[in-house]
Amino acid sequence: MHIEQNIVDKVNEWLTPTFDQKTQDEIKEMMTSSPKNLEESFYKNLEFGTGGMRGIMGVGTNRINKYTLGKNTQGLSDYLKKSFPGEQLKVAIAFDCRHNSNTLAKVVADVFSANGIKVFLFSDMRPTPELSFTVRHLNCHAGIVLTASHNPPEYNGYKVYWQDGGQLVPPNDAEIVQVIENLKYNEIKFDADESLIQYIDTEIDEAFAKSTIENASFNTSAQARQSLKIAYTSLHGTSIKMVPKVLEKAGYTDVNIVPEQAEPNGDFPTVISPNPEEPEALTMALALADKINADIVFGTDPDSDRLGVAVRNNKGEMQLLNGNQTMVVMTHYLLEQWKKAGKINGKQFIGSTIVSTPMMLELASEFNVECKVGLTGFKWIAKFIRDFPELKFIGGGEESFGFMVGDAVRDKDAVGAILLMCEIAAQAKEKRSSVYKELEQMYVDFGFYKESLISITKKGIEGANQIKQMMVDMRETPVSEINGQRVIMVEDYQNSTARNLLSNETETLSVPKSDVLIYYLEDGSKICARPSGTEPKIKFYFSVNTAIESLEEISAAEVFLDTKIKNIISEMQLN
């Protein structure tokens, strides 16, 4: 097969003595046995997306390996020195359960230390939110987590946090990427200064647990905590290191762990995907819940930032909640607690994202707080905390099964969110209610909002081009009507425009540019198209709603909304 000259040039560079013999041998093997794989490995450089940099492990510029991560770390080291001249620089590093995460974390630590930077390296795998906490707790300038979140086993990744504990955002992200791109591989300093690498573990665990309990506990009685029966799975990931410990310290004694999934394992052998967004991932936890008659089920992804939740419905059956539902339940509860404590005075805010449920705006309005809505990804919610120091952050989330309680952790945090959901469930059970009933009452009070998501996977070079073309088509030939409803507004975040199709007036969007399109229909429905920033997917988000007067109307309203979503998907030819 023909291989483009720019790919050949990259391959030849990787066959020089800058790269170790094993790497060169693997490339030579690919050249003869798998030229297609060679092309995929070198056709581009791995890029930073919504949740950092993720990719398949292997040799090449489009793969996660010692050299691509070494180059990132060298570039970040240079940028830190320029940004904080004269300071003793400090970074914290954590890693998850994935293959090679521990060795890649040590490579990253080596490069930082070779550049004279003090490194706090976790001695074993830890949840991602604990790293975010650690950056601020140890007054670090930056932090790194080696994780690919819920991606398949062949992936790994590299998430960068800044000194506020949040992930990189503009302008730092683009500036750091520029420094990395200008570097040559032979400029990476791999020779560690071991005296600058300090291993951390239990002391930070204790501080993180204490902070979590302070942020996510709300005067639940000891009896209510002890009577809540919990089924929990870490899905072979890192949350096993902290969730059981935090729940025990908080007084939740009836925690039942899925034994087959408790052992960290980068192959994730018992699930198709270690993603709690996928219903299949919680199959074993749901089975355990039915066996022991649990009140609530929790499952976390490998790096413990996402959480899946199932609760008993009105028929006593376990029912999975989606990310929007858990988000509004937790946000509503937090707002109620803050109101009871007399802590709401108009100088507070909750956070959400452009693809999440509009119900968050209704909650904000009811409780007299602001709702700041940003692009997909918790880095934008963390940025709001930094950008608006005059406002106190209460909590916030996004539809992709993430939530953040308070500002001690500046990323989605399954550890704190699980404790908060336990508080909600325990208090509801004590008053003979349930999480499910609380959610139903919210639909009566604030409107019945229902959301759905479709992900279409397109792998490789060809897939990336197909996704690109789909977005081009939707931009250049936008639809004017969907499911019998006129499209009244189109927001194009790549061009920073919001166009009213009825008046033909255009406004400028104030959020940063992103490859996202949102259609608003005249009945209040919302449709969003967004290529994933970390996976070879394009995602379509649907939100529909209707007003109901009583709990008795819920069943009919749900059928009505489900039909509406189904019709929209069919008309857009996405099924």
| Residues known to be catalytic | 149
Distance (Å, rounded) from C-alpha 192 to C-alpha 66?
A: 14
Pairing status of strand 402-405 against strand 392-398: antiparallel
**Separation of alpha carbons 503 and 473, rounded Å:** 23
For residue 293, give both structure tokens. Answer: 């008659």
Residue with tokens 């059981």: 244
Cβ partners under 8 Å of residue 18, min gap 6:
185, 186
Which residue type is seen at 17? P
What does the alpha-carbon distance between residue 36 and residue 54 come to, in Å, rounded to a whole number? Answer: 21
Closest CA to 297 of 251, 356, 352, 235: 235
How far is it, in rounded angstroms, from Cα 326 to Cα 476?
Answer: 36
Q: In 10 A of CB 330, how many CB atoms?
A: 25
Amino acid at 482: I
Tokens at 87, concatenated: 């300071």
Q: Torsion over CA of 321, 324, 326 and 328, rounded to 10 degrees?
A: -140
- Burial tier of 174 (Cβ tally within 10 Å: 0-12, 13-18, 19+): exposed
- Tell me the one-letter amino acid at 91: V
Greatest CA separation found in the chain? 73
The residue whose two tokens read 């707790």 is: 137
* 3-state secondary structure labels for all residues of 329-371: HHHHHHHHHHHHCCCCCCCEEEEEECCCCCHHHHHHHHHCCEE
Per DSSP, the three-state class of 451 is strand
Q: Please name which of 335, 401, 328, 405 lies closest in space to residue 360, comparing C-alpha atoms.
A: 328
Cβ 318 vs Cβ 297: under 8 Å: yes
Give bridge partners of residue 156 from the DSSP assignment: 55
Residues near 392 by Cβ (< 8 Å), separated by ≥ 6? 343, 347, 348, 349
* CA end-to-end distance (rounded Å), the chain: 35
Instruction: Determine contact, residues 68/46, Cβ cutoff 8 Å.
Output: yes
Contacts made by residues 257-263, CB under 8 angstroms, sequence distance 24+: 257/232, 257/233, 258/231, 258/232, 258/233, 258/284, 258/285, 258/288, 260/284, 261/233, 261/234, 261/235, 261/236, 261/285, 262/233, 262/234, 263/236
CA distances from 147 to 21, 94, 349, 436, 518 (A): 26, 9, 30, 33, 30
The two tokens of residue 234 are: 């870490």
Q: Are 403 and 415 in contact (CB under 8 A)?
A: no
